[in-house]
Amino acid sequence: MKIAFQVDRPKKTPRDDLFGYSFFAKHFSQIINNYSEEDGLVLALYGGWGSGKTTILNYIKYYLNLDQESNKHEESIVIVDFNPWWFSGREDITRIFFKCLEDELGKRDKLKGIAQNMGKYADVITSFIEPFISEKIKVFLNKITEFIFKGRNDIPELKKEIEKELIKAKVRILVVIDDIDRLENEEIWEVFRIIKAFGDFPYITYLLALDREVAVKAIEKYALRDEKYLEKIIQVSFDIPPLNKSTLIKELEKQVKQIVKNNDEFLLDENKLRNILNRGMNCFFSVPRDVVRFCNALSVTYPAVAREVCPTDFVVIEAIRLFLPYFYNIIKNNQEKLTYSDENYYVKKNNEESFLEASIKCIQEDWQSPIRFFMMDLFPKYFTVNVAISKKKYSEMRRCCRIGVSDIFPVYFRFSLLPGDISNVKLGKLIDLPCKNPEVFKKTLLEARKEQSWEGRLKVDVIIDRLIDCVDFDITEENALAMIEIFLNIGDEINFVDGKNNLYSEDRVSFLVFSLVKHYGYLKAKRVIINGIQRGKAVYVQGSFLSLLESENTEPLLKKDIELLKYKWIKRVQKLLTCSHPKLWNILFYWRKWGSLEEVKKWCSEETANDENLLSFLKGFLMPIETSSGRFFRPQIELSFRFKDFRTYLAPSTCASRIEKLTQDRSVPPDAQLAVKQFLLKYKEYLSLSNNSA
Q: What is the 3-state secondary structure (H, E, C) of 161-185?
A: HHHHHHHHHCCEEEEEECCHHHCCH
Domain end residue (candidates: 414, 441, 473): 414
**What is the number of domains present in the chain?**
4
Same domain (yes/no): 304, 330: yes
- Residue 334's SS3 state is coil
Domain end position, chosen among 192, 213, 239: 239
pLDDT in the model for residue 117 = 78
Q: Looking at per-residue confidence, does 318 or 494 come out higher?
A: 318
Q: Give which of 247, 291, 293 is closest to 20, Cα–Cα.
A: 247
Domain boundary among 239, 255, 277: 239
Q: What is the pLDDT of residues 321-348, one digit of tens each?
A: 999 999 999 999 888 888 887 655 555 5
381 assigned to some structural domain: yes
Banded pLDDT at 150 (limits 50, 70, 90): very low
Give the mean pLDDT of 353-368: 82
Inform me whether the pLDDT recorded for 261 exceeds 60.
Answer: yes
Cα(450)–Cα(571) distance, rounded to whole angstroms? Answer: 32
228 in the same domain as 253 = no
The better pLDDT of the pair 632, 58 is held by 58
Claim to verify: residue 270 and residue 199 sit in the same structural domain: no
CA atoms within 13 A on the CB side of 34: 6
Q: Map residue 199 onto helix, strand or coil.
A: coil
Q: Which letter does DSSP use for residue 634 in this model? A: -
Shared domain check, 260 and 185: no
131, 194: one domain: yes
Expressed as residue numbers, the domain containing 68 is: 14-239
pLDDT in tens, 230-244: 888 888 888 988 877
Work out the pLDDT band at 144, boundaries 50, 70, 90.
Answer: very low
Examine the domain organization and report whether 192 and 44 are in the same domain. yes
pLDDT of residue 513: 94
pLDDT band at 417 (very low <50, low <70, confident <90, very high): low
Residue 199 CA to residue 205 CA, distance in Å, equals 8
Contacts 24+ apart (CB under 8 A), 326-331: 327/359, 327/360, 327/363, 327/371, 330/355, 330/356, 330/359
Report the residue count for the chain.
694
Decide if 605 is inside a domain: no
499: left (phi over 0), alpha (psi -120 to 50) or beta: left
Q: Are residues 631 and 493 in the same domain?
A: no
Q: Are residues 28 and 115 in the same domain?
A: yes
Residue 6 lies in a domain: no
Residues 115 and 65 in one domain: yes
Q: Is residue 593 assigned to a domain?
A: no
pTM listed for this prediction: 0.61
Comparing 196-205, 269-278, 576-585, the range with the smallest average pLDDT is 196-205
- Whether 256 and 359 share a structural domain: yes
Domain membership flag for residue 503? yes
Q: Looking at the structure, do residues 624 and 693 belong to the same domain, yes or no?
A: yes
pLDDT band at 437 (very low <50, low <70, confident <90, very high): very high
Domain identity same for 64 and 192 = yes
